[in-house]
Structure 1
């Protein structure tokens, strides 16, 4: 066996392994969600429109969504001060965690906790702009035992 064949075989294996790794990291476990017409917020069903979301059964932290909501529906909730949007996959364009973090810090978005410890150890948060643009994600709440 020549060294050239060995090298080509090794490089071919690396390319296939890298492609599989990228697939499983960024695509394999995510499921697109659409057609969601309402969210349960503080025990009440609140209508939303233009819902685009992703989620996965492999981790509660993979939930991300963008939608339109009436800002008055969340106006009575207390703002969440510890909201930290997590980075989603690069192909889910409507959810930009960096921009959301900047908008939260600048006051262009207000975050609200809509579910606490559901599932255990995770909170579900939304961020809403005055024009009704909304975003949804889950984050760790620090109560995992």
Structure 2
């Protein structure tokens, strides 16, 4: 009888810990991202190397204080890929990070596939938004665009 109680206790503690871990990863730390009106999303100019706000509509985003890598945003831009390519710095090695399941406008797998096959283009939004972390923006031909933070390609993280 004692063994059943101990085993039951272990199973219950494990189940509670699993539910708590899931909640902490998916919901606990995320908040709505705050954007400056008129300067919601910026891209880095080729000529000056400085970020400049771009036209962005219908922006929604999430962020967290617990990690600089938790930022994600979805929006639409009327700017064409050709115009963006001539004006702003391309970003090599862009790999979107998976968003929480409830933030359904951001599909990292589809964005990543579009970047690999050349349908979407990646641009540097802002370098070193946090130490060794860049903000990256991917833009599709129809104006759909997505932003996320990622570690510099080749950066050493401590």
**TM bracket (short chain):** 0.7 to 0.9
Q: CA deviation at 1:98?
A: 1.2
Displacement of 1:144 after TM fit?
5.2
What do the CA deviations read for 1:46-88 (whole angstroms, capped 9, x no partner)? 2311112111111111111110112246341132221111112
Deviation (angstroms), 1:143: 5.8
Tell me the TM-score normalized by structure 2.
0.80
Q: What is the CA-CA distance between 1:126 and the residue it aligns to?
A: 0.2
- Aligned equivalent of 2:52, options 44, 48, 67: 44
Partner residue, 1:9: 9
Structure 2 match to 1:119 = 130
Following TM superposition, the consecutive aligned residue runs of length 4 or more in structure 1 with deviations greater than 4 angstroms are 34-37
User: Match for residue 128 of structure 1?
Assistant: 139
**Alignment: residue pair count:** 145
The farther-off stretch of 58-67 and 90-99 is 90-99
Structure 2 portions without partners, runs of 5+: 45-50
Q: TM-score, normalised by structure 1?
A: 0.86
Distance 1:22 1:102 in 2: 27
Q: Which of 53, 56, 65 is the matching residue for 2:64?
A: 56
Cα deviations across residues 89-129 of structure 1 (Å, max 9, x unaligned)?
22221111111111011111000011111212111110001
Gaps of 5+ in 1: none
Supply the distance in 1 between the matched residues of 2:103 and 2:70 (Cα, whole angstroms): 11
Q: Cα RMSD between the aligned structures?
A: 2.2
